[in-house]
């Protein structure tokens, strides 16, 4: 029996890479839409880790949680996009550093 | 030396009608103040007088029942238990014994006449309902004061009359001078009231120490002989401070002359006949306590004598008709305290009664003059009113003669009894002061009378032409009071003149027996001296002032410093303004500028500033940029993970 091409370790490393891309994107990119997509990346990186470990451990809990995460991500997408739209109506920009009224 | 026979234990007889004596005017006051103005002038006039008349009738009934009940009893009406706290029980109870009976008759009798007079005096004032509301409320308070069976109930009346006095002095409150005169009376009285309260606390404490805390007069007087000299003196002295406030004695008399800003019937009722005698009544009521504090008695006598003399000297140079009478009242109250101080409680009460008659008469007569001359009060602008106002003139003459001590009239008997008692008790200097005061009293009253009624009119001609005798409501009160002022003294004719001194014997169950030690010849001699001095004062004043107030100008020039000093009542008001009011003002400035602004505000603002400073260094972390927040979260997560990885946290 051939060893699978990808072991759980590969998936976990990939997940970590994706998560770091997302986190980095979240911090460095100023466009709200891109930041938003970065959040999605981080969520899906977490999903990938869950799936890989669930498969490895033969435990369904990890797969169940993924569904919850996707549900939350969908809701978050709806609300997040609505917030961005509302912001855009008030101020014609989607640059995060130009929206900074709520400060000291 | 004071010698008073011990007072026998008295038993109470229930008389539930006593509560109606103060209740009637109280209800009337409520009626006036709620719908008096809408109900109209005749309604208010009738209710006001009828309420006091009702009180008078109940008072008469009380006096009769007291006489029927026989010796050693008093009438008691315990309405309900007012305070029941710890070891102290105070009933709202009213008491009629011989002492409160006399006061009750004076308050309701003279009060009724003054209410009738007021219906005439206030007939042009738009605010009649408020006036009679206050006046009836005053009468109710005064009756609570004299009928109360315990110190707290008396204190309710004591405060009530003070309040009404304030309200009535400032009755014409649109005039700032009058409003501030009312305030002054209230504030000065508060000083005295504080003394009264503290005295009451001392008595309560002393009673609790001895196992029976009670503030009923009977219990206080039973407790007093057993008190240590210091405690008795402290309580008596503190209560006397209250008396100096209410009864206008040195050093708290300054409010009474200013109190003349009120309508004249108010001056007659409150500031001459009734309220100002409250202090004398209180001391007489607690006579056993005062006898247990001989040192305080000396103080009372000295203050009384000095007040009598000092106020009389001031009265000599006053030109306002009401100011003369006001200082005269202070002076006569001084006589009463002199009598109390030498242990002649009966003589003091006798003078309270005769003074109520003749001083009410004089004030109402002055009111009649002021009314006729449309608010003219300066006697330099009067004169010759005898032809215009015959009834006022003749009744005023009776009042003047009575206060001057003309033999046969009421003032003669009561003042003589005081002077005889003072002489008899060995207070030579105070007696001499009293005789001198008697001479000055005769002098300034004759001056007032002559300048007002005799000679030629000196003011504006048209005012004189328009002047006419006051209406019947006013003159009838004058006539009745003139009869009382003339004949009231016959209740207390001394034995040396063939009388039985009925008045003093009547009061004996409450204040004990007080007998003179000196022989009849001495008593006659003492009497003759004061009569001669009094008549001398009358003759001198009459001759001096028959042609107008010229001698005053001469005196003002020749004795300039003295004239100014007397005219300004020894500058006591100025001194109070500078030292007391000024001192309190300076203290208030310190409290404001240092304690409030620096300390209190400093603490409050300091806490705020410290918090702001602390926050100021941290708040710039809140940039408003989401990405910074996201970065913070990231760093936080990283730190936490690192901590877990290194085993620092689990």
B366-392 tens-digit pLDDT: 999 998 988 889 998 888 888 889 999
The alpha-carbon gap from A2 to the nearest alpha carbon of chain B, in Å, equals 35
| Of the partner residues B624, B631, B634, the one whose CB lies closest to the CB of residue A102 | B624
pLDDT tens profile B590-611 = 999 999 999 999 999 999 999 9
A35 to B626: CB separation less than 8 angstroms, yes or no: yes
Q: Where are the domains of chain A?
A: 8-92
| Of the partner residues A26, A28, A97, the one whose CB lies closest to the CB of residue B625 | A97
Which pLDDT score is estimated for B142? 96
In this prediction, does ipTM exceed 0.90?
no
| Of the partner residues B619, B620, B625, the one whose CB lies closest to the CB of residue A100 | B625
pLDDT(B650) > 70: no
Interface contact A46, partner B, CB < 8 A: no
| Of the partner residues B620, B623, B630, the one whose CB lies closest to the CB of residue A100 | B623
Which pLDDT score is estimated for B8? 57
The domain made up of A8-92 is a member of CATH 1.10.287.3510: yes
Paired residues of B216 in beta bridges: B150
Residue A100 with chain B: CB contacts under 8 Å: 623-625
Burial of B606 (0-12, 13-18, 19+ CB in 10 A): exposed
Q: What is the DSSP letter of B577?
A: I
Which of B616, B618, B625, B631 should we substitute to test contact with A (largest number of A Cβ atoms within 10 Å)? B625
Tokens of A67: 């569904």
Pairing of strands B73-85, B11-14: parallel
pLDDT tens profile A46-94 = 999 999 999 888 888 989 999 999 999 999 999 999 998 998 888 888 8
The alpha-carbon gap from A60 to the nearest alpha carbon of chain B, in Å, equals 26
pLDDT(A9) > 60: yes
Q: What is the DSSP letter of B409?
A: S
pLDDT tens profile A39-57 = 999 999 999 999 999 988 8
pLDDT(B7) > 70: no
A104 to B620: CB separation less than 8 angstroms, yes or no: yes
Which pLDDT score is estimated for B1? 35
| Of the partner residues A23, A35, A100, the one whose CB lies closest to the CB of residue B624 | A100
Could you give the residue ranges of the DSSP H alpha helices within B210-293?
217-223, 229-246, 255-258, 264-268, 278-285, 287-291
Of B256, B261, B259, B265, nearest in space to B52 by CA: B265
Which pLDDT score is estimated for B2? 42
Residue A103 with chain B: CB contacts under 8 Å: 622-625
User: Confidence class of residue A2 from pLDDT cuts 50, 70 and 90?
Assistant: low
Return mean pLDDT, chain B: 90
pLDDT(B462) > 90: no
Residue B623 with chain A: CB contacts under 8 Å: 100, 103-104
User: Can you tell me the distance from the alpha carbon of B381 to that of B364, in angstroms, rounded to the nearest whole number?
Assistant: 19
SS3 B122: coil
pLDDT tens profile B144-175 = 999 999 999 999 999 999 999 999 999 999 99
Q: Which chain B residue's Cα is nearest to A27? A: B627
B627 to A35: CB separation less than 8 angstroms, yes or no: yes
Of B351, B323, B364, B333, nearest in space to B482 by CA: B364
B624 to A101: CB separation less than 8 angstroms, yes or no: yes
Residue B631 with chain A: CB contacts under 8 Å: 27
Interface contact A3, partner B, CB < 8 A: no
């Amino acid at each position: 029996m051939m060893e699978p091409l990808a072991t759980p370790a590969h998936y976990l490393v990939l997940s970590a890479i994706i998560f770091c891309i997302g986190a980095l994107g979240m911090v460095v990119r100023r466009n709200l839409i891109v930041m938003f997509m970065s959040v999605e990346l981080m969520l899906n990186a977490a999903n990938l880790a869950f799936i890989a470990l669930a498969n490895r451990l033969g435990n369904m809990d990890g797969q169940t949680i993924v569904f919850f995460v996707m549900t939350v991500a969908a809701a978050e997408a709806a609300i997040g996009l609505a917030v961005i739209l509302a912001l855009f109506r008030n101020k014609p920009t989607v640059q995060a550093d130009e929206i900074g009224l709520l400060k000291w | 030396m004071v010698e008073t026979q011990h007072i026998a234990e008295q038993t109470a007889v229930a008389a539930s009608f006593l509560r109606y004596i103060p209740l009637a005017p109280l209800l009337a006051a409520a009626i006036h103040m709620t719908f008096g103005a809408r109900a109209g002038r005749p309604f208010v006039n009738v209710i006001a007088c009828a309420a006091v008349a009702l009180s008078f009738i109940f008072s008469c009934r009380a006096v009769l029942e007291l006489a029927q009940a026989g010796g050693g009893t008093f009438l008691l009406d315990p309405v309900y238990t007012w305070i029941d706290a710890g070891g102290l029980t105070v009933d709202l109870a009213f008491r009629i014994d011989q002492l409160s009976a006399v006061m009750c008759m004076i308050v309701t009798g003279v009060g009724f006449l003054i209410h009738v007079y007021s219906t005439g005096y206030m007939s042009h004032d738009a605010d009649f309902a408020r006036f009679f509301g206050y006046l009836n409320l005053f009468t109710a308070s005064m009756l609570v004061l004299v009928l109360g069976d315990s110190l707290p109930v008396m204190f309710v009346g004591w405060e009530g009359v003070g309040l009404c006095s304030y309200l009535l002095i400032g009755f014409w409150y649109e005039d700032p001078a009058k409003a501030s005169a009312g305030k002054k009376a209230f504030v000065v009285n508060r000083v005295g009231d504080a003394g009264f309260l503290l005295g009451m606390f001392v008595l309560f404490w002393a009673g609790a120490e001895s196992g029976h805390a009670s503030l009923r007069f009977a219990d206080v007087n039973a407790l007093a002989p057993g008190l240590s000299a210091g405690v008795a003196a402290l309580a008596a002295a503190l209560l006397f401070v209250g008396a100096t406030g209410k009864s206008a004695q040195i050093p708290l008399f300054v409010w009474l002359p200013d109190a003349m800003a009120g309508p004249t019937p108010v001056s007659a009722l409150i500031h001459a006949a009734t309220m100002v005698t409250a202090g004398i009544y209180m001391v007489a009521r607690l006579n056993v306590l005062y006898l247990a504090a001989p040192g305080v008695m000396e103080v009372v006598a000295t203050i009384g004598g000095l007040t009598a003399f000092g106020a009389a000297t001031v009265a000599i140079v006053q030109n306002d008709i009401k100011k003369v009478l006001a200082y005269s009242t202070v002076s006569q109250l001084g006589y009463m305290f002199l009598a109390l101080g030498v242990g002649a409680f009966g003589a003091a009460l006798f003078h309270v009664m005769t003074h109520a008659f003749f001083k009410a008469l004089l004030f109402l007569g002055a009111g009649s003059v002021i009314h006729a001359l449309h608010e003219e009060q300066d006697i330099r602008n009067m004169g010759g009113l005898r032809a215009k106002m015959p009834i006022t003139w003749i009744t005023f003459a009776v009042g003047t003669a009575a206060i001057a001590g003309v033999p046969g009239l009421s003032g003669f008997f009561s003042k003589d009894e005081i002077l005889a008692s003072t002489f008899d008790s060995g207070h030579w200097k105070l007696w001499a002061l009293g005789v001198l005061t008697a001479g000055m009293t005769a002098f300034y009253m004759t001056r007032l009378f002559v300048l007002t009624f005799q000679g030629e009119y000196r003011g504006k001609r048209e005012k004189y032409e328009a002047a006419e005798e006051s209406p019947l409501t006013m003159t009838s009160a004058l006539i009745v009071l003139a009869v009382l002022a003339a004949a009231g003294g016959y209740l207390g004719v001394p034995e040396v003149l063939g009388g039985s001194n009925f008045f003093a014997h009547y009061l004996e169950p409450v204040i004990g027996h007080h007998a003179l030690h000196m022989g009849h010849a001495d008593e006659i001699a003492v009497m003759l001296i004061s009569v001669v001095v009094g008549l001398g004062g009358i003759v001198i004043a009459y001759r001096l002032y028959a042609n107008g107030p010229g001698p005053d100008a001469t005196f003002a020039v020749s004795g300039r410093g003295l004239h100014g000093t007397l005219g300004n009542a020894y500058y006591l008001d100025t001194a109070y303004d500078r030292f007391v009011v000024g001192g309190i003002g300076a203290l208030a400035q310190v409290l404001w500028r240092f304690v409030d602004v620096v300390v209190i505000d400093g603490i409050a603002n300091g806490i705020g500033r410290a918090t702001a400073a602390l926050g100021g260094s941290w708040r710039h972390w809140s940039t408003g940029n989401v990405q910074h927040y996201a970065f913070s979260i990231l760093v936080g997560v990283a730190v936490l993970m690192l901590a877990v990885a290194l085993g620092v946290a689990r």
